[in-house]
Amino acid sequence: MATSPLCVPPPQGLLRPLAVPERLLLGPGPSNVPPRILAAGSQQLLGHMHPEVLQVMDEIKMGIQYAFQTQNRLTLAISGTGHCAMEAALLNLLEHGDTVLVAVNGIWGQRAADITRRLGANVHELLKPPGEYFTLWDIEEGLARHKPSVFFITHGESSTGVLQPLEGLGELCHRHGCLLLVDAVASLGGAPIFMDQQEIDVLYSGSQKVLNTPPGSAPISFSEGAREKMLRRKTKPLSFYLDMGCLGNYWGCDGEPRRYHHTAPINSFFSLREGLAMLAELGLETSWERHRANCAKLCQGLCDLGLELFVKEEKVRLPTVTTVRVPDGYNWKDIVAFLMDNHAIEIAGGLGPSVGQVLRIGLMGCNSTSSNVDRVLSALQDALRCCQHSRL
């Protein structure tokens, strides 16, 4: 018998069937995917230039324009997750030597500052402790001092549970000759945002939060002001894959014949189309109200359990992700593991600057229900009873 030329055998793990347990995903994302969106993602493939796929992309674009409340023609979905949209926004807007002001009150500002530094821009950070938000006054001072061409801020700070007020911010930035870039990965569909009325220049989000769509596609939109800054570039954007000129053409945003740029993740687009369709059917206002009401019920229930909410002011609590202080004498890891092992519920500990300080509970899209609030509260009550032995 001839000896096999293969020195790596087929992996045993792959010879067993895929096993995916059922879990209620009440962390800061991803959230559970409803059957309609799962079914859309498992449709047979089509070619990435087929008219039916281009039609789906047009529908996604209209869905994003609705979700963002914008008429911007440069509106599309990035083939990647929220980070990819963050990179796309920054690397298309910025050139080496540009000055940027980044609002940092959690991990997302830190990440934006990191990406911006890699691009060779001059980065200034406007700092607030985790759990706090920025006032217009804080921001105006930063704009006047640093004179940036772009200001970055996170609408839904999912590492701390803060909802950043955006009223008046676009106008303020424009008065200072600066473009406003907003991260709405964790907040879109769960809290009001009005891209055009609030004069936001670049807005991006993700698919796996309120849209209940698998991760891998990220809505993004650019105002005319942002487009003009990109047109004035002296150098090409550092990434070909994320070049908004090429992507805008593939997405039919420039009025020219659509050209192949990359093979789109077609099934992700089918799913995203359905996620956006479900949001359009429900209506933004109903979705915002549902998230507000369930978050309020959760916060009340957490206080009734004797827990302390991390974000003090109710009006700046993020309706999609609630943060609660890790109670004294408990190890957050024990609580998170207890919920997973005994209740098949995912919640999360802190992230970045909030690590060790908080537990994070997400109620996003179809997961934002009164019965899920009851489920997670009763599981937490159980955990508080059973994890007491883990006193630090």
Residues at the binding site are: 360
Give the residue with the Cβ less far from ligand PMP, 63 or 106.
Answer: 106
Q: How many residues bind ligand PMP (CB under 6 A)?
A: 14
* Single residue of 131, 156, 275, 362 touching ligand PMP by CB under 6 A: 156
* Single residue of 24, 25, 28, 383 touching ligand PMP by CB under 6 A: 28
Closest approach, Cβ 153 to ligand PMP, in A, equals 11
Of 52-60, 182-190, 331-339, 340-348: span binding ligand PMP (CB under 6 A): 182-190
Give the residue with the Cβ less far from ligand PMP, 34 or 215.
Answer: 215
Give the residue with the Cβ less far from ligand PMP, 32 or 81.
Answer: 81
* Single residue of 65, 92, 154, 221 touching ligand PMP by CB under 6 A: 154
Chain residue at closest Cβ approach to ligand PMP: 82
Site map for ligand PMP, 242-281, x if CB under 6 A?
----------------------------------------
* 330 lies in the binding site for ligand PMP (CB under 6 A): no
* 183 lies in the binding site for ligand PMP (CB under 6 A): yes
Query: CB–CB of 137/256 below 8 Å?
Result: no
The phi, psi pair for 240, rounded to 5°, reads -75, -45
Of 151-159, 265-273, 277-285, 365-373: span binding ligand PMP (CB under 6 A): 151-159
Query: CB–CB of 199/174 below 8 Å?
Result: yes
* Single residue of 158, 212, 221, 372 touching ligand PMP by CB under 6 A: 158
Of 115-123, 150-158, 253-261, 308-316: span binding ligand PMP (CB under 6 A): 150-158
* 212 lies in the binding site for ligand PMP (CB under 6 A): no
* 108 lies in the binding site for ligand PMP (CB under 6 A): yes
Closest approach, Cβ 150 to ligand PMP, in A, equals 17
Closest approach, Cβ 204 to ligand PMP, in A, equals 8
* 323 lies in the binding site for ligand PMP (CB under 6 A): no
Exposed e or buried b per residue across 361-375, where buried means at least 16 C-beta atoms within 10 angstroms of its C-beta: bbbbbbbbeeebbeb
Closest approach, Cβ 156 to ligand PMP, in A, equals 6
Residue appearing with tokens 């954007």: 237
Of 54-62, 181-189, 342-350, 358-366: span binding ligand PMP (CB under 6 A): 181-189
Among positive and negative, which fits the CA dihedral 109, 233, 203, 46?
Answer: negative
Site map for ligand PMP, 66-105, x if CB under 6 A?
---------------xxx----------------------
Residue 125, judged by CB atoms within 10 A of its CB (0-12, 13-18, 19+), counts as middle
For the annotated binding site for substrate, the residues are 360
Binding site for ligand PMP (CB under 6 A): 28-29, 81-83, 108, 154, 156, 158, 183, 185-186, 206, 215
